[in-house]
Structure 1
Amino acid sequence: MTLVRIEILETQGSALSKPDAHFPIRLVDPVQIDGKTVIAAGVIGEGEVVHAKRSSMSGGPGELILAARWLDVNGRKVGLRSMHISESGKSAIKDVNRVLFASVATVPVAAAIGWFMTGKEVVVPSGTHAEAKLAADFTVEP
C-alpha cells in the first residue's frame, strides 16, 4: 500500500472535539507512480474524530483518536486507512493519591484539594502532519 503524508487543517482536542465530527485534511507530498504525479500535493480530504474524552476531575487524562478517511481526487473519494492519532494526556492520578495520603495526616479540608486536580487535555494543533495509507490500489486513467 502507498503511504501518504497528510496535514490536519483544524485544531482537534480532547476537550473541544466531538466523536463523529469531521475535519479537513490536506495531502502534503504528491503521490507518484513511476516518477509521474498521480495525486498532486495540496489535495483536500476529510478526517474523522473517532473518540474524544475530556480529562476528569479525579485526575484521569484526556483522550483523542483521529482517523484520516479520504482525499478528493478530481471529484473521486480516494479512501485512506491506517492513520490515527491516539494520544492520552498526562495523568494526575498519582499526584492526587500523594495529596490525599499527605492530607490524611494534616487537616480534613486539605483532603478535598486532590479532587480538584485534573489530568491534561490532548491537543492536536492545526498543521500537524501524520501518515496514512491509501485504502485501495489507485488506478490512473490513460
Structure 2
Amino acid sequence: MGNYDSLAKGQNFCFFCKKGHFKIARHFKTHEKEDPDIARALSFSPLSKKRKELLEQLGNRGNFMYNNEIMRKGRGSLKVKRAAKSDKCKYEYCIHCKGMFLRKKLWRHMRRCSFNTEEEEKGNGKKNAFLA
C-alpha cells in the first residue's frame, strides 16, 4: 500500500500521502490541486460548518486507511475517536463516518452521527443501531 508512519497522539492521517500530520486541514492545502474531494472541502469559507464536516470526513478516511494497515500488520497503535482508559478494549467502525469507537459505545454514536444520510428509525435502545 505505501509508507505508513506511526502516529503520535493528536495526529491525523492523510489518505493521499500516507503520513500523519498534526494540522491535517492545513496539510490538505498541499493536495488541493491533486484531489477533487480536498478541493471541494477547501472551497467553502474557513468558518463554515460544511467545510468542517468535509474535512472531518477526509480525516476519517485517512485514519480508516491507517487503522486497516495497523490491524493487517498486527502492531502499532490505532487512531480512534475516543480512547478508552484500558488497553484491552474492542473498537469498531461507524458505518457512516468511518470513525473508530469503543464497541460498547458505538451504538450511541451511530444514533447521532452527522454523516448518517438515511432517515433511519431512531429508537431508544442499543439493538436498533446494529440492525443496519
In the superposition, the TM-score normalised over structure 2's length comes to 0.22
Structure richer in helix, relative to its length: 2
- The structure with the largest alpha-carbon Rg is 1
Structure with higher strand content: 1
